[in-house]
């Protein structure tokens, strides 16, 4: 199966976990699903998150495939093969943590770990119909995670249920302490341009929750999306640009990586100004409400055939990447559409309020279930 890179059996008899192959497991090479790293030496020590999982008695059962070098959002990989989307066959699994999302959707693991630099946990979670969480930047250790340096990337869990996602956070974040929330947390509905099919599902969920809400604008959202790409390009080139010399990077990634090398210092400086501005904008919005609400993706997941068109995939991360730039915690909740395809409801919380964000998600889901039963 193309979603599993390496079978293993490490740890105790707790929840079963699969780990993205950008995260070091001692004794195994970290190849990031790239032929250019096919001969990588085995890692000598576990990544901090892997050690944390083992310390909590979790059982590590596999490493999972990804979009090559974690530099893409579809999950399509011509070297390892593309992880199938178990619940929505023929649709992209999403990337870059494609194998981690597909494994959970297929019921092969209780939860999995991915990494999210520009939506790479939340996009595949949305495409595969599971929960995916990007913690506050810097809150979960990245030691032993590729790339070594990132000002955007976060290790985050994927799971088929919210309680299992909380279990995952308790395992990988020693500071994570569940909290209770008010019965009626305030939702801030972020105005965005999504497809009618997606917007219908989001609107119905907000209405069904019967929670107090107000509409908010984030004027710098588009600028933050663009700035996030500038930073990703610079940091990915710095980490992986040398691999172009091998001639073994997939053609699609090689072209993007070569172009990323042209990122200028001026563009990066401007992106950092946007980071400050957008972060302040999100902080201010979260003074007014408890959580921000918007779609995870602007449209339904593409078919594998349509995703071969690079233009078609460009906007997939429009609503997720900005929150990597700002560093806020963000969760994708799986919802169903009339079209029979998945839609993600994204919740964004205040920095370091990861526990509160997941508790609010639980409250929202309780009320949604109650309204459906009612």
- CA neighbor of 166 nearest in space, from 180, 151, 147: 180
Confidence of residue 81 (pLDDT cuts 50, 70, 90): very high
The pLDDT, as a whole number, for residue 373 is: 72
Q: Which residue spans within 27-108 are E strands per DSSP? A: 59-64
Lowest mean pLDDT of 1-10, 11-20, 49-58, 292-301, name the range: 1-10
How much is the average pLDDT of 91-100? 98
- For the chain, what is the domain count? 1
Residue 4, sorted as left (phi over 0), alpha (psi -120 to 50) or beta, turns out to be beta
Confidence of residue 31 (pLDDT cuts 50, 70, 90): very high
Peptide bond preceding 231 in cis form (omega within 30 of 0): no
Q: Tell me: the pLDDT tens digits for 155-197?
A: 999 999 999 999 999 999 999 999 998 889 999 999 999 999 9
Q: Which residue spans within 16-143 are E strands per DSSP? A: 16-20, 59-64, 111-116, 131-134
How much is the average pLDDT of 140-148? 98
The pLDDT, as a whole number, for residue 225 is: 98
Separation CA 51–CA 58 (nearest Å): 10
The pLDDT, as a whole number, for residue 374 is: 58
How much is the average pLDDT of 129-140? 98
The pLDDT, as a whole number, for residue 187 is: 98
Q: Tell me: the pLDDT tens digits for 147-165?
A: 999 999 999 999 999 999 9
Separation CA 229–CA 330 (nearest Å): 18
Q: Tell me: the pLDDT tens digits for 317-338?
A: 999 999 999 999 999 999 999 9
The token pair at 188 is: 């801030």
Q: Tell me: the pLDDT tens digits for 214-224?
A: 999 999 999 99
The pLDDT, as a whole number, for residue 2 is: 86
The pLDDT, as a whole number, for residue 1 is: 57
Q: What angle do CA 108, 103, 87 make, to 5 degrees?
A: 100
Structural domain harbouring 14 = 4-373
- CA neighbor of 76 nearest in space, from 256, 250, 233, 319: 250
Q: Tell me: the pLDDT tens digits for 337-372?
A: 999 999 999 999 999 999 999 999 999 999 998 877
Q: Average pLDDT of the chain?
A: 97
Which residues carry out catalysis?
A: 20, 96, 120
**Residue 11 scores a pLDDT above 70:** yes
The H or E element that residue 69 is part of is none
- CA neighbor of 349 nearest in space, from 294, 299, 298, 297: 294
- CA neighbor of 349 nearest in space, from 287, 273, 264: 287
115, 154 contact by CB (below 8 A):
yes
How much is the average pLDDT of 229-258? 97
Which CATH number is 219's domain given? 3.90.1300.10
The pLDDT, as a whole number, for residue 165 is: 98
- Report the 10 Å Cβ neighbour count for 219: 11
The token pair at 343 is: 């839609």
**Residue 263 scores a pLDDT above 90:** yes
**Residue 283 scores a pLDDT above 90:** yes
């Amino acid at each position: 199966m193309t979603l599993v890179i390496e079978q293993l059996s490490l740890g105790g008899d707790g929840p079963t976990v699969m780990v993205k192959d950008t995260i070091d497991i001692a004794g195994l090479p970290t190849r990031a699903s790239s032929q250019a790293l096919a001969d990588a030496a085995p890692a000598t020590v576990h990544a901090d998150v892997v050690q944390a999982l083992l310390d909590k008695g979790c059982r590590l059962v596999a490493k999972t495939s990804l979009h090559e070098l974690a530099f893409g959002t579809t999950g399509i990989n011509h070297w390892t093969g593309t992880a199938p989307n178990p619940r929505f066959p023929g649709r992209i699994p999403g990337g870059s943590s494609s194998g981690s999302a597909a494994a959970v959707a297929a019921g092969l693991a209780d939860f999995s770990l991915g990494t999210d630099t520009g939506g790479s946990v939340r996009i595949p979670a949305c495409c595969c119909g599971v929960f995916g969480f990007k913690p506050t930047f810097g809150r979960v250790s990245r030691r032993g995670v590729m790339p070594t340096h990132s000002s955007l990337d976060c290790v985050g869990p994927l799971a088929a249920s919210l309680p299992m996602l909380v279990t995952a956070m308790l395992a990988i974040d020693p500071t994570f302490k569940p909290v209770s929330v008010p019965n009626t947390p305030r939702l801030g509905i972020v105005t965005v341009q999504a497809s009618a099919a997606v917007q219908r599902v989001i609107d119905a969920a907000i209405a069904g929750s019967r929670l107090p809400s107000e509409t908010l604008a984030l004027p710098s959202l588009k600028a933050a999306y663009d700035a996030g790409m500038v930073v990703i390009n610079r940091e990915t080139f710095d980490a992986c640009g040398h691999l172009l010399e091998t001639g073994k990077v997939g053609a699609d990634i090689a072209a993007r990586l070569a172009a990323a090398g042209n990122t200028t210092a001026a563009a990066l400086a401007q992106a950092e100004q946007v980071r400050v501005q957008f972060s302040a904008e999100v902080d201010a919005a979260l003074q007014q409400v408890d959580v921000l609400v918007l779609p995870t993706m602007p449209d339904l997941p593409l078919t594998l055939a349509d995703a071969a068109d690079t233009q078609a995939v460009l906007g997939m991360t429009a609503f997720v990447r900005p929150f990597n730039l700002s560093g806020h915690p963000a969760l994708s909740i799986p919802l169903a559409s009339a079209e029979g395809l998945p839609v993600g409801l994204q919740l964004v919380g205040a920095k370091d309020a990861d526990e509160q964000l997941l508790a609010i998600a639980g409250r929202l889901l309780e009320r949604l279930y109650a309204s459906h039963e009612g």
